[in-house]
Structure 1
Amino acid sequence: MSRDSAPGDYVQFVYHLKPGAGPEYDRRHAAVWPELLEAIGAAGIEDYRIWRHGEIVVGRMRTRHGVAAANAFMAATAIQKAWTASLLPLFERYQTEDGEPLWLDEVFRFAGAGS
């Protein structure tokens, strides 16, 4: 993983689901394994949200120690490996050829008149 973030900064990513896989993706995320939720918290992930529109999934997360540290922690857990393997049949594309997540880069921000 070559991308990192400062502690407290958000990172965003996108997944492409296979046609028709959206409802199953939603069903799985309505019942995330408790052990996975524990690992997410232990990894220092403070705010993790996922949205879906058709076959496009967008995720956003904020971490206490940076995304590289959180992802290294998660990659070392058996529960993360099992969860990812269980979802692989639903994905059309979720990473680059180099194994990097499909990061979203910010191209515009309006922070309000007082910023």
Structure 2
Amino acid sequence: MQRVCFLLKVRQGRIDEYRERHAAVWPGMLEALSAAGWHNYSLFLREDGLLVGYLETEDFAGAQAAMAATDINARWQAEMGEFFEALDGDRPDRAMKPLAEVFHLA
């Protein structure tokens, strides 16, 4: 099982709305994530907008590709893209770059 952690930055003026959106993630999006192999997926948001994401999956590249192939993900990413800084025109799901794991206490 791969453990994946990534960072993104939510725009300061959009933090409250970002929290609200994630309090009511579309049921179809939740189903798509599970079907694509995203497990134990969590998002943590600091008050300054730093977003830390964590998930576990058998194959991160495959899980990303499976989500990219869904219509619901395309719609979600289109709506969520405006919440983030420094995407350089990319979608949030393509901008997340996994951090290198340097320690894990099993």
Report the TM-score range of the alignment, normalised by the length of the smaller protein.
Answer: 0.7 to 0.9
Residue 32 of structure 1 is matched in structure 2 by 25
Residue in 1 aligned with 2:55?
61
Superposition deviation, residue 100 in structure 1: 4.5
Equivalences for residues 40-79 of structure 1 within 5 A = 40-54=33-47, 55-63=49-57, 65-79=58-72
Question: CA contact under 8 A between 1:17 and 1:93: conserved in structure 2?
Answer: no
Please report the RMSD computed on the Cα atoms of aligned residues, expressed in angstroms: 2.1
Corresponding residue number in structure 1 for 2:73: 80
Q: Does 1:91 align with 2:51?
A: no
The structure with the largest alpha-carbon Rg is 1
Measured in 2, the distance between the counterparts of 1:37 and 1:68 equals: 18
Who is 1:102 aligned against? 97
> Secondary structure in 2 aligned to 1:44?
coil
TM-score, structure 2 as length reference: 0.85
Q: Is the 8 A contact 1:94 1:102 kept in 2?
A: no
How far apart are the structure 2 equivalents of 1:39 and 1:94?
23
Query: Greater share of strand residues, 1 or 2?
Result: 1
SS at match of 1:37: helix
Taking only the aligned residue pairs, the percentage that are identical comes to: 37
In proportion to residue count, which structure has more helix? 2
- Per the alignment, residue 11 of structure 1 pairs with 4
Which 5+ residue runs of structure 1 have no aligned equivalent?
1-7
Aligned residue type for 2:101: E
Equivalences, count:
102
Deviations 1:47-79 (A, max 9, x none): 10000002100000001x310110000001010
**Displacement after TM superposition at 1:42 (Å):** 0.6
